[in-house]
Amino acid sequence: MNLGRDNHPELRDAVRALCGRFDSAYWQDIDDKRAYPEAFVDALSTAGWLSALIPEEYGGSGLTLTEASVIMEEVTRSGGNAGCCHGQMYNMNTLLRHGSDAQKKKYLPQLARGELRLQAMGVTEPGAGTDTTNIKTLAVRKGDRYVVNGQKVWTSRLQHSELMILLARTTPLAEVTKKSDGMSIFLVETKSHGLEVKPIRNMVNHETNQVFIDNLEIPAANLIGQEGRGFRYLLDGLNAERILIAAECIGDGYWFTEKASRYARERVVFDRPIGQNQGIQFPIAESYMEIEAANLMRYKAAALFDKKLDCGAEANMAKHLAAKASWEAANVCLQTHGGFGFAAEYDVERKFRETRLYLVAPISTNLILAYLAEHVLGLPRSF
């Protein structure tokens, strides 16, 4: 079983060649300006990489999630920030798995051609956080449309996306027997009247926002799947999200270890390369091992997902292990560079900030541990 770096070599080479057109100077400039990498995202779209999961009948490539994860891995391994575009991959999965034939025929060909972007997902709310079943945003059916009121936070890439996946209650929380019932998912056109967007400046160049929803009207035809089953659809999509994020972290981890190793070979102090010292060698070697181990869990989770088998535990473990490994590799890389690691010119500090996000989002470390404790180890629910 070939799960190493030679996995999908032609795919890797093609994505790497495209990413090579956008060097570290490009990403540093984008980061410095707090801009959106339009040129890079457009290039990925034109090449068909962001439509990788769309079936061929709708103009996509019809690739597996495993192959899609390789694309995201190569973006970060090449020094890019996949956070600018990964939403298209996992949001697409919600439409693919649960959308109607009419919805797919209407939107998928345009997404495949790069005419539309489906980068945004409105789920998290200020008063709920990761307690998704406690959301308050309410969608009320009125004839052939739903009228929605509420608020979302940390809705990323909304300003650069024509479409958004929106989770809202169609039955108030007080009226359901089970908290996970009564939520529905909608496909929203982001230019619709009733959406007020306020950017959140944050630690990384990650375009994210507060969204105030005031009498937003959504055609009933834009309800994805059955009313009231949105939370189940969301969980299905989140497994894809966590696997793709894991792959991005793997790419980051390799970038850090390769960068640290190269610098350790070249940097001479006291008449010898610093990489000759075990104090430098060992942390890099350990980081590399952790990334390789996390990579195996990433491929296991992706394989289960592609076979439409339960992969909740594996997707969570892959995301956690990869995020942890990439963050440790980032620390080692920064330490290896010493003072130069803080200089923007070396690009370590940018990637250092970017990879730190994934220990917090899209799901925090503690929530993953709580999930495994309850659902895998059979321990009592802790919250």
Residues belonging to the active site: 241
Residue 377's identity, in one-letter code, is L
Contact call for residues 174 and 231 (beta carbons, < 8 A) = no
Going by DSSP bridges, is the β-strand pair 163-169/120-122 parallel, antiparallel, or unpaired? parallel
The alpha carbon dihedral of 352, 318, 279, 275 has a sign of negative
Going by DSSP bridges, is the β-strand pair 138-142/145-156 parallel, antiparallel, or unpaired? antiparallel
Contact call for residues 294 and 322 (beta carbons, < 8 A) = yes
Name every residue whose Cβ is closer than 8 Å to that of residue 379 and which is 6 or more positions away in sequence. 373
The alpha carbon dihedral of 317, 319, 320, 325 has a sign of positive
**Rounded Cα distance, 59 and 295, in Å:** 30
Cα radius of gyration rounded to whole Å, the chain:
21
Phi and psi, residue 288, nearest 5°: -60, -40
Contact call for residues 86 and 248 (beta carbons, < 8 A) = yes
- Dihedral class, residue 143 (left if φ above 0, else alpha if ψ from -120 to 50, else beta): left
Phi and psi, residue 326, nearest 5°: -70, -35
3-state secondary structure (DSSP) of residue 219: strand
**Rounded Cα distance, 195 and 291, in Å:** 41
**Rounded Cα distance, 17 and 293, in Å:** 27
3-state secondary structure (DSSP) of residue 68: helix
Contact call for residues 217 and 147 (beta carbons, < 8 A) = yes
3-state secondary structure (DSSP) of residue 182: coil
Question: Alpha carbon of 60 to those of 14, 96, 99, 144, 305: distances in Å?
Answer: 16, 12, 16, 31, 19
